[in-house]
Amino acid sequence: MVGESGGAHFAVLTTFHLLRTHPHFSLKGLILPYGNYSVAVNTPSLVTYTKPVLVDRDIIAHFMEAYTPGWTQAERQNPRVSPMFEDLQGLASSIPGGKLPPALFICGTNDPLLDDTLLMGVKWQATGSEAIIKIFPGAPHVFNVPTLEIGKEAFGYEAEFLLSRM
């Protein structure tokens, strides 16, 4: 399963839902570039980000408000909408094999969603599941386009990850 930015968010939510409701559900892997995994809009990189290229805190907050209109901060920490708050240890231990599907997390250092990627990737690893975290120095949000050298490098990691699981 693949999703970028908000798509990565929904890919993770969908995966978690399928793992909860169909424990024998099998997924060969997820490719998750620069995902936002908390609609609470409160990770340090998002709060302190000052170099907007494509998105900034205000834009992301606008989309999160549209996704969860009128919700309180506490309601936005519900794991059913903010996968960052999911009990990944509990979820992994509840499925056959005790591991989440392999995941590739990608982000740039000039992306306000950097902490979302780092935190989710480390939480994934902490379950004993495979999680590869690739961070690209200087890369902004939505950098993995084939016309940029850094984008080609990111596509290379994605292709390698995908091909190794087919």
Is 16 inside a domain boundary? yes
| β-pair type (131-140, 30-33) | unpaired
* Amino acid residing at 109: T
Q: Are the C-beta atoms of residues 101 and 108 closer than 8 Å to each other? A: no
Is 1 inside a domain boundary? no
Is 19 inside a domain boundary? yes
One pLDDT digit (tens) per residue for the chain, 166 residues: 788 999 999 999 999 999 999 988 889 999 999 999 998 878 888 778 777 677 888 888 898 899 999 999 899 999 999 999 999 999 999 999 999 999 999 999 999 999 999 999 999 999 999 999 999 999 998 898 888 899 899 999 999 999 998 8
Distances (CA, A) of 113 to 26, 97, 120, 137: 28, 31, 11, 14
Q: How many domains is the chain partitioned into structurally?
A: 1
Is 139 inside a domain boundary? yes
Which residues form the domain of 145?
Answer: 6-163
Is 88 inside a domain boundary? yes
Is 115 inside a domain boundary? yes
Q: Are the C-beta atoms of residues 72 and 39 closer than 8 Å to each other? A: no
Is 26 inside a domain boundary? yes
Asked whether the whole model's pTM tops 0.85, one would answer: yes
H helical segments located in 127-164 = 149-163
Is 61 inside a domain boundary? yes
- CATH classification at residue 155: 3.40.50.1820
**Structure tokens belonging to residue 9:** 């968010």
